[in-house]
Chains A and B, each alone.
Chain A
Amino acid sequence: MTVNPRIKSFSMRDFFDKERNLGIILMLPGAILLIAFMAYPFFLGIWLSLTDSMIGRIGQFIGLRNFVDLLTDTIFHQTAKNTLIYALVTVPFKAMLGLGLALVLNRHMRFSSPIRAAVMMPWIVPTALSSLGWFMIFDPVFSPISWFFKHLGLISKNINFLGDPVLAISSVCWANIWRGVPFFGITILAGLQAVPQELHEAAAIDGASVWHRFRHVTIPSIKGVVLIASLLSIIWTFADFQLIYILTKGGPANQTHIFGTYTYQIGLQATEIGMGAAISLYMFPILAVFATLLLIYLRKEQ
Chain B
Amino acid sequence: MKDHPKRGKEKGRLSRRDFLKAGAAGLGVAAMGGLLPDMLLAAKAPAFKKGTSLSILQGSYFIAPGQDLYKKQAQEWGEANGVAMSADFLNWPDLQAKIAASVQAGGHDIVELWPGLNYLYQNNLVDVHDMAEEFGKRGGGFEKYVLVSGKVKGRWLGMPHGYSNGSMAYRINWFKEAGCPNAEDGNKVDLTWDEYFAIGKKCKAKGHPFGQALGHSTGDPPGYCYPYMWAHGAMEVEKDGKTIAFNKPQFVEGMRKFIEGWKDAYDETGTSWDDSNNNRAYLSEQISSTFNGSSIYFAAKRDKPEIAKDTHHILIPKGPAGRFYWLETRTFAILKNSKNIPAAKEFLKWWFQDKQFGDWWRLQEGYMLQPVVKYYNDPTWLKDPKMLPFREQPKYGLNLGYAGLNNEKAALASSKYIVVDTFAKAVQGGDAKQAIEWGAEQLKRIYDR
Measured between beta carbons, the chain B residues less than 8 angstroms from A253 are: 271, 421, 424-425, 428
Interface of chain A: mostly helix, strand, loop or mixed: loop
Query: At the interface with chain A, which of B169-177, B185-193, B295-303, B407-415?
Result: B407-415
Q: How far is the CA of A250 from the CA of B218 in the complex (A)?
A: 13
Query: At the interface with chain B, which of A21-29, A210-218, A266-274?
Result: A266-274
Q: Which of A56, A74, A140, A266 sits near B415, CB closer than 8 Å?
A: A266
Contact check, A54 vs B428: say whether CB atoms are below 8 A apart.
no
Segment 119-163 of B: residues with Cβ below 8 Å from A: 120-121, 123-124
Given A73-B445, A140-B277, A163-B270, CB of A272 within 8 Å of CB of B412? yes
CB distance from B229 to the nearest CB of A (A): 16
Contact check, B421 vs A266: say whether CB atoms are below 8 A apart.
no
Q: How far is the CA of A142 from the CA of B104 in the complex (A)?
A: 40
CB distance from A284 to the nearest CB of B (A): 22
Sampled A-B contacts (16; CB under 8 Å): A56-B121, A72-B445, A74-B442, A75-B442, A160-B268, A163-B268, A248-B215, A251-B216, A251-B272, A252-B215, A253-B425, A253-B428, A254-B417, A266-B412, A268-B96, A271-B411
Q: How far is the CA of A270 from the CA of B412 in the complex (A)?
A: 5
Q: Is B322 an interface residue (CB 8 A)?
A: no
Measured between beta carbons, the chain B residues less than 8 angstroms from A161 are: 272
Measured between beta carbons, the chain A residues less than 8 angstroms from B272 are: 138, 140, 160-163, 168, 248, 251-252
Q: Is A227 an interface residue (CB 8 A)?
A: no
Contact check, B416 vs A265: say whether CB atoms are below 8 A apart.
yes
Measured between beta carbons, the chain B residues less than 8 angstroms from A168 are: 272
Contact check, A270 vs B415: say whether CB atoms are below 8 A apart.
yes
Q: Is B46 an interface residue (CB 8 A)?
A: no
Contact check, A165 vs B123: say whether CB atoms are below 8 A apart.
no
Q: What 1/0 flags go to B78-106 for Cβ under 8 Å of A?
A: 00000000000000010011001001100
Give 8 nearest A-B pairs by CB, closest first: A163-B272, A163-B271, A140-B269, A251-B216, A270-B415, A162-B272, A249-B216, A253-B424
Segment 249-302 of A: residues with Cβ below 8 Å from B: 249-254, 264-266, 268-272
Interface of chain B: mostly helix, strand, loop or mixed: helix
Contact check, B215 vs A141: say whether CB atoms are below 8 A apart.
no
Q: How far is the CA of A74 from the CA of B437 in the complex (A)?
A: 13
Measured between beta carbons, the chain B residues less than 8 angstroms from A56 are: 100, 103-104, 120-121, 123-124
Q: Is B52 an interface residue (CB 8 A)?
A: no
Q: Is A55 an interface residue (CB 8 A)?
A: yes
Measured between beta carbons, the chain B residues less than 8 angstroms from A249 are: 93, 215-217, 274
Q: How far is the CA of A57 from the CA of B119 in the complex (A)?
A: 12
How many A residues touch B, CB cutoff 8 Å?
A: 38
Measured between beta carbons, the chain B residues less than 8 angstroms from A162 are: 215, 272
Nearest to A159 among chain B residues (CB) is B269
Contact check, B104 vs A141: say whether CB atoms are below 8 A apart.
no
Nearest to B95 among chain A residues (CB) is A269
Measured between beta carbons, the chain A residues less than 8 angstroms from B387 are: none
Q: Which of A57, A141, A271 sits near B277, CB closer than 8 Å?
A: A141
Given contacts A253-B424, A266-B416, A269-B415, 6 further A-B contacts (CB under 8 A): A74-B442, A141-B267, A160-B272, A163-B271, A164-B271, A270-B416
Segment 260-309 of B: residues with Cβ below 8 Å from A: 267-274, 277, 280-281, 284, 286
CB distance from A47 to the nearest CB of B (A): 15
Measured between beta carbons, the chain A residues less than 8 angstroms from B408 are: 54, 271
Measured between beta carbons, the chain A residues less than 8 angstroms from B449 are: 69
Measured between beta carbons, the chain A residues less than 8 angstroms from B270 are: 140, 163
How many B residues touch A, CB cutoff 8 Å?
A: 42
CB distance from A271 to the nearest CB of B (A): 5
Nearest to B337 among chain A residues (CB) is A56
Q: Is B396 an interface residue (CB 8 A)?
A: no
Q: How far is the CA of A168 from the CA of B216 in the complex (A)?
A: 13
Nearest to B217 among chain A residues (CB) is A249
Q: Is A221 an interface residue (CB 8 A)?
A: no
Measured between beta carbons, the chain B residues less than 8 angstroms from A264 are: 97
Segment 174-198 of A: residues with Cβ below 8 Å from B: none
Q: Is A242 an interface residue (CB 8 A)?
A: no
Q: How far is the CA of A140 from the CA of B211 in the complex (A)?
A: 11
Segment 98-135 of A: residues with Cβ below 8 Å from B: none
Q: Is A158 an interface residue (CB 8 A)?
A: yes
Q: Which of A160, A251, A268 sits near B269, CB closer than 8 Å?
A: A160
Segment 423-449 of B: residues with Cβ below 8 Å from A: 424-425, 428, 438, 441-442, 445, 449
CB distance from B326 to the nearest CB of A (A): 17
Q: Is B214 an interface residue (CB 8 A)?
A: yes
Segment 32-84 of A: residues with Cβ below 8 Å from B: 54-57, 69, 72-75
Measured between beta carbons, the chain A residues less than 8 angstroms from B100 are: 55-56, 268, 271
CB distance from A249 to the nearest CB of B (A): 4
Q: How far is the CA of A74 from the CA of B421 in the complex (A)?
A: 13
Q: How far is the CA of A191 from the CA of B416 in the complex (A)?
A: 45
Measured between beta carbons, the chain A residues less than 8 angstroms from B421 are: 251-254
Given A249-B93, A249-B215, A270-B415, CB of A140 within 8 Å of CB of B124? no
Contact check, B215 vs A269: say whether CB atoms are below 8 A apart.
no
Measured between beta carbons, the chain A residues less than 8 angstroms from B267 are: 140-141, 158
Q: What 1/0 flags go to B236-269 for Cβ under 8 Å of A?
A: 0000000000000000000000000000000111
Given A55-B104, A141-B280, A269-B97, CB of A251 within 8 Å of CB of B124? no
CB distance from B358 to the nearest CB of A (A): 33
Q: How far is the CA of A151 from the CA of B179 in the complex (A)?
A: 32
